[in-house]
Structure 1
């Protein structure tokens, strides 16, 4: 990932880097499916009006002018590439509601495009892995708890450093702000969301300048945001402020339920952090952000929350809760920090060598036997010296080289050489298998 991209913000991976990325994707798919989630895919292009339904965004969207000229496109519809998967998914739910069973549990792994200033972890073309549960008119709160646990399960299986899934509840925050006399709760949340970027002093000044907050209100809002806990003790700290509000009570109860269950099943992984605000207006309850411990400057690698009416037909609403994992951001850090590496950069476990060019057809017979049992292999293209063929396998990371020969009676013989140990043994192409660990490329912990 240290290589300079020829087109800034649009990363390309070498084969060995792609092995690591595929490992991350496979782990996420496997984990999500273990929890009963189905895979969907939405189109890459949306109308700009659709993309902006959740409010104006602070990132550039990439318009698609060529499609705009297509005669099948309505001239009034301006089109752009989607910048996340949440808004397209909301449209997908509304348009396909009659074909879906609710609660609808889906995961979605796709590329998105966004006008970013390219840097590590932030690209203009990037892959996201989203997981959401959507209900029809209502959705039990327990899915807010379950989503946190599923994401912890998925991230724990990846070759990444220790992480913290930080959780808050916007009802708690909004109720508190109302209780201290700040009526523009969305404005306060947007300011609090900047704490990590500009610090408490600057946020306090924003609250005064833009929302007319008093020194006492600023102090109370910042004190609330300073509360963190790995258990439900955060609730006592909030109550100690003496602020009364019905929405605050609801938020406290919901966040307590998340942390209480998470502290049992994922101790130390999920923490209450009342500074988490998530600036997007469509979040209505639980909000999540995830950071890698020691790599906080990378930003959140997984975030999301509860939304009550992002998906709506006007007559019917589809509330949901979901999280999005920044796959490209995660993979960039895994590669740049050598946190994981592949055992080889190609799928092939075996190179079938050629004794002479006339043996090519017989070598293909061997390859056919191996592939029929799921063993990836290659056949040499020409009959170079065995030393050159072995060096070719070594450069590609192929662990085994297969040799065909002839015995005194004219029968074909088969031997396999493990080029790492030098061991060479006679084998039968219809029954031989490599050790399980060599069957496919694996991703292992990187070097210290």
Structure 2
């Protein structure tokens, strides 16, 4: 189980736990690059004006000021703050570097972000996100919305996280439906529907009536839409059966159907149409995604995002995009808390080169260099203690092999797990592939 952080909301993993996190990051990186996404990193600091320009989220932002200065006012748009996600900084990056990028531009980004919210299960004040986005210049074909759902399903499938569901909706579908009902404040309805899992249908109906003036019939229809969930494009008929018409609804239905038709073929059972998904941020304009772990739905979404048309713009030039963000720290914390995965050892080291005496340290370094030249992680003992103590040190560190050099220059390597000790040549010996590097694997609960 993950060790509790001494400062709430700021996790620090133990070495074996960090290996699990690195495995997740490496797997995601490898999958993203297989699909042609380029890596980049943006600065940790943005102006408050930049961070808040697409939604009121000031309670989540950490302001930045030097200790000897008075704290910068959050009302000052030129004040500095730590970024709370990677999408807004990426939009700024695209605008500033548009002349150097080839569009559509595909990027992945793995960085820390900071949010000043109350820490709880799976929610941190400092955490790692892994994002992928595709951005166009002026227009972006809808097929990228389809592709991102498939990429993220493939990336998560490669992790030892168990079953998951990518839930997809379309803001055009929802907004067109509300407009067809006569509810003009579509953003307000979306914000209310977004609270459905937290407060339940009855409370949402009260909100729709008290805050948006919805009639009982309008609220019931909005909730009926949110109750639709299918693994294929059959949601279209169910929405049509509700008897609401609007051109924007037609557009949203067609787009979401395209996503589900592709997903049902290439990621069956992993991607579903869930018309309760709204996403709270205002900059989403079309497809929206949320991903939950089966059996851990209370953890919330581990991967979310959507289509945005005007988050990035420069004058009349716009850069529409679609992206998804994986909450890596949330995901890793769940894996560690339930013990569903573990590293095969706590350190990268595969071999400890033992010292027969203190004068043999230089020769031991030669052995280590020969092994490292073939990619074998090696440590050299710091002092020539009794071999038993050096073996105990390796065992305590989780190092599987100890290397011994005899007085005549002979070499032997001992597998301290089995006790087997055999002659070995530093120029040719290799451990079994399974022992070369730590492995992160699912743990059999039985």
TM-score range, shorter chain: over 0.9
Q: Give 1:140's aligned residue.
A: 141
**C-alpha deviation, 1:444, in angstroms:** 1.2
1:241, distance to aligned residue in structure 2 (A): 1.2
Counterpart CA distance in 2 for 1:388 and 1:343 is: 23
**Does structure 2 conserve the Cα–Cα contact (< 8 Å) formed by 1:168 and 1:275?**
yes
Q: Distance in 2 between matches of 1:444 and 1:348?
A: 18
Match of 1:295 in 2: 296
How many Å separate the matches in 2 of 1:241 and 1:413?
82
Q: Mark the runs of 5 or more structure 1 residues left unpaired by the alignment.
A: none
Cα offset for 1:336?
0.3
Matched, 1:18 2:18: yes
| Deviation of the 1:125 alpha carbon | 0.3
Partners of 2:386 and 2:185 in 1: how far apart?
77
- 1:131-151 per-residue CA deviation (whole Å, 9 max, x = no partner) reads 000000000000000000000
Measure, in 1, the Cα distance between the counterparts of 2:11 and 2:191.
31
Q: Is 2:275 aligned against 1:274?
A: yes
Following superposition, the deviation at residue 3 of structure 1 comes to 2.7
Partner of 2:182: 181
4+ long deviations beyond 4 Å: 67-70
Quick one: distance in 2 between partners of 1:437 and 1:232?
A: 44
Distance 2:84 2:315 in 1: 24
Matches within 5 A, 1:76-91: 77-91=78-92
Taking only aligned residues, the RMSD between alpha carbons, in angstroms, comes to 1.3
Q: CA deviation at 1:67?
A: 9.1
Residue pair 1:67, 1:79 contacting (<8 A) in 2 also: no
Corresponding residue of 1:252: 253
The equivalent of 1:419 in structure 2 is 416
Within-5 A mapping of 1:11-410: 11-57=11-57, 59-66=59-66, 77-406=78-407
Instruction: After superposition, give the CA deviation of every residue in 1:237-296 in whole Å (9 maximum; x if it has no partner).
Output: 001112110000000000000000000000000000000001111100000000001000
**SS of residue paired to 2:311:** strand
Q: Is the 8 A contact 1:340 1:443 kept in 2?
A: yes
1:68–1:79 Cα contact (<8 Å) kept: no
Separation in 2, partners of 1:60, 1:157: 32
Which segments of 5 or more consecutive residues in structure 2 lack a partner in the other structure?
A: 71-75
Q: What is the SS of the residue equivalent to 2:319?
A: strand
1:59 Cα deviation (Å)?
3.6
Q: For each residue in 1:366-411, what CA deviation from the matched residue of structure 2 results, as whole angstroms up to 9, or x when unmatched? A: 00101111111001111111111111111111110000103xxxx3
Task: Give yes or no for contact 1:68–1:78 (8 Å, CA) kept in 2.
Answer: no
Instruction: Report the Cα distance in structure 1 between the residues aligned to 2:133 and 2:68, rounded to whole angstroms.
Output: 31
1:436 aligns with 2:425: no
TM-score with structure 2 setting the length: 0.97
1:187 Cα deviation (Å)? 0.6
Whole-Å Cα distance in 2 between the matches of residues 238 and 148 of structure 1? 22
Q: Distance in 1 between matches of 2:278 and 2:5?
A: 34
Alpha-carbon distance in 2 for matches of 1:243, 1:373: 66
Q: Deviations over 1:390-448 (max 9, x none)?
A: 11111111110000103xxxx31000011111111101101111111111111011241
SS at 1:66's partner residue? Answer: coil
Instruction: Tell me the TM-score normalised to structure 1 length.
Output: 0.96
Which residue pairs with 2:73 in the alignment? none
Task: Please give the secondary structure, in 1, of the residue aligned with 2:211.
Answer: helix
- Report if the CA contact (8 A) 2:2-2:333 is conserved: no
Query: CA separation in 2, counterparts of 1:228 and 1:186?
Result: 21
Distance in structure 1 (CA, Å) of the matches to 2:272 and 2:127: 28
